[in-house]
Each structure stands twice: as C-alpha cells, then as structure tokens.
Amino acid sequence: MNYLDHAATTPMRPEALAAWTAAHALAGNPSSLHAGGRRARRVVEESRESLATQLGCRPSELVFTGGGTESDNLALKGLYWARRADDPRRRRVLVSAVEHHAVLDPAHWLGQTQDATVELLPVDETGLVRPETLAAALADGPDGPDDVALVSVMWANNEVGTVQPVAELAAACHVHGIPFHTDAVQAFGQVPVSFAESGVDAMTVTAHKIGGPVGIGALVLRRGLTVTALTHGGGQERDVRSGTLDTAGAAAFAAAASAAVRDLPAEARRLAALRDGLVRQVLARVPTAVLNGAAPGPSRLPGNAHLSFPGCEGDSLLMLLDARGIECSTGSACTSGVARPSHVLLAMGTGEETARGSLRFSFGHTSTEADVAAVAEAIAPVHERASRAGELLLPHRSASDDLT
C-alpha cells in the first residue's frame, strides 16, 4: 500500500511505541499516593515537561486531554462560558470559515443552545484569514470588540494546508483583551510552532498526527486565562479536565513530539520535495487539475498536496486509487450518506462542481519516492475513468441538487 493520508493519522514512530510499551508495564494511577502511583505520576510530569519544551510553553500551561476534538471543545466552550460569566455582553464567537468541524460544530452548538452569536471569518482564495479582516470583524459588533467572547483560527488548514498568520491574528485580538485560540493539530511537527512566541492564548495539539498514539492530546492555556471545565470528578489537570491521566499516552506523546521537532528542518525539506514532485507529475498527466491553497513555500504545510479534478467526483477518484493500493482522502465530507462539497473550498470561492472533485495527498515520516511514483503512474487512467463516470452521473446529480 502507498499511504498518503498522514493528515488523517500517521503511523506511530518507533520512539513513541517504545515509550508507550514501557509505560504500560507500570502499574499505578498517577493520582494514587502509593509507590506505584508516584512512579506513574513521575512519568506523566516528565512527559509534560518534555512536551512543553517542544511546544514552547510552561509545563503548568499544558493540560492533557483525550485528543484534538476534546481540546477544541474545551477551548471554545470553556472560554465562552468563562467570558460570559465575567461580562454577559460577550456573546460573539468569531471562527474562520475554514475551521475543522471540531471547532465549527462546538461554535454552532454555542449559538444554538448557549445564546452565542457565531460569526464566520471570510478567507481569501488561498484559505487565508487576513489580519485586517479580523480587525474589521472585531469592530463590527453592536458594542464593538467589547462583546466578543473569543476568536479561534487554526494554525494550518487540514484540507488545503494553508498556514495562517496566527501571531498577527492574536495581536489583533490582544489590542482589545480578547482571548485567541488556535487549533495547531496539523501544524505541530510540520512547521515551527511556539506557544510563547506566537502570543496565542490557547492552543490545541494531538499525538496521532505526529507519530504518537490515538487517544491523547493537549490544550495549552496561557497562565491566568480562566476556562470553565467541561468534565468534573477527580480535579486532575488543574481542575480543568478531570479524569484519570493516560500515563502511557503521555509518555508516547512526548517521545513523538521530541522526534518530530528534532527532525523538523530536514523532514520539512524532504516532504516538500515529495509534495512538489507529486504535484508536478499529476499536473503533467492531468493538465486540467488545479492545486488548491497557498503556493508551495512558508505559507503552506510541506506535506500537503490538495488538488481538484474538474468533471470528476472525489469519491470516485479515491476508490479507484484505493483499488490500486493508493490511500488518500477527499476534500468533501459525507453527511447521512450524501456526498457534499468541501466547506473549505466553498469558502475559498471554488465552484461546487470543482469542489466535489478534490483529493488530498498528505505526506509523513514514512513517505517515500515510491508513493509519488505510484500516484504518477495511476492518476491518468484513474482520472479518465472517473471523468467518464462523472459524465454519466452529471444529469442525475444536477436533478438531485435541485431537490436539496
């Protein structure tokens, strides 16, 4: 198999697997006072310190969670509730139109059930939120920026790989004392990420995107920032996130982060070369294909190649490639069995037909030139077959769209 879906999840690194296995051999709850509990606690705290070093934050600012989705929910809901309790006028929640659903869905839930006013920040044709766009949105409320509860803009987009100017966006919020959260799940391990240097107030990361295990993540919270807890029980993690700590997960997360940050400069160059080779060969074989997102360079994740194939259905392309042993993903979400175009591409101004026919190829630490060669060999016949299928489906699809 040629695995090109590292943005979804990436295989565990050997260092992480070794740390995970060793920690699993320990018996003891990190909250217990006996010797076994203290040994487990030491592993957790040493892992916290190591991970904090890689993230550019203080260990006391790092809250372990069950993953990126939990961290995003804790950030949005916890900040909103805390800010509303302090000042009831703070009802506005500003998030970019291209966020992952782990941010969009809790934001809309706040709007539907918690009296929030949710505003989607528009993006340009590359998926970028411009600082002047955010500044204008902050000033546009009934009470100006005084009624804004929080702002959330991802560090890098999970679909098209565009890297956002998070430091500038955070600075625009801080002029008015508004907390700024960023989902850095895709960015951490692919581009330099420093919590302190960026100036953000809350940051989401997760282990399984960098070669750690599924099931553990973290939310980094600036000291002094008040967040209302979602879960209550044992009072772990500064009473922000109750629940028994995952000792083995923390150890593996820290080991994966150390390896990812250590290798980042060389690995970023290697992945960018693989990505550029794939894009070049795909465009040579399918001239009508379009590269989405920012141009290759510092404004784009090195391991991301997101392409649209007009006249094709992304699902058809994906399954045809899968039959040839190539695993990637589409740019569309599936709701109740109905394929819909990517909200990210639509927000960027891409037409619905083009947005339907998109694929994301994402590279990681196990990627090789063989993966690029496999795509280059397969893409022309796969595209031809998907195009023929698209021509047959077009009348039916148009009629269906009229009914929705």
Give catalytic residue positions. Answer: 334
Give the E-state strand segments of 136-242 in sequence order.
148-152, 180-183, 202-206, 217-221
Q: Residue 146 carries which DSSP code?
A: G
Return d(Cα 270, Cα 9) in angstroms, integer. Answer: 19
User: How many other C-beta atoms lie within 10 A of the C-beta of residue 288?
Assistant: 12
Nearest to 219 by CA among 247, 240, 198: 240
Return d(Cα 5, Cα 305) in angstroms, integer. Answer: 11
Q: At what angle do helices 369-403 and 247-285 cross, to 10 degrees?
A: 80
Kindly report the length of the chain.
404
Instruction: Return the SS3 of 290.
Output: strand
In the chain, what is the greatest distance between 2 CA atoms, to the nearest angstrom? Answer: 70
Return d(Cα 306, Cα 278) in angstroms, integer. Answer: 11
Return d(Cα 324, Cα 291) in angstroms, integer. Answer: 22
Pairing label, strands 326-327, 329-330: unpaired
Nearest to 204 by CA among 191, 192, 187, 190: 187
Which backbone phi and psi does 91 adopt, to 5 degrees? -110, -20
Q: At what angle do helices 14-24 and 247-285 cross, to 10 degrees?
A: 160
Instruction: Return the SS3 of 334.
Output: strand
CA–centroid distance for 46 within its chain: 26
Retrieve residue 6's tokens: 């590292």
Buried/exposed 205-236: b ≥16 CB within 10 Å, e otherwise: bbbbbbbbbebbbbbbbbeeeebebeeeeeeb
Q: Which secondary structure element, helix H or strand E, spans residue 63, and what is its range?
A: strand 62-65
Q: Provide the terminal-to-terminal Cα distance of the chain, rounded to the nearest Å.
A: 38
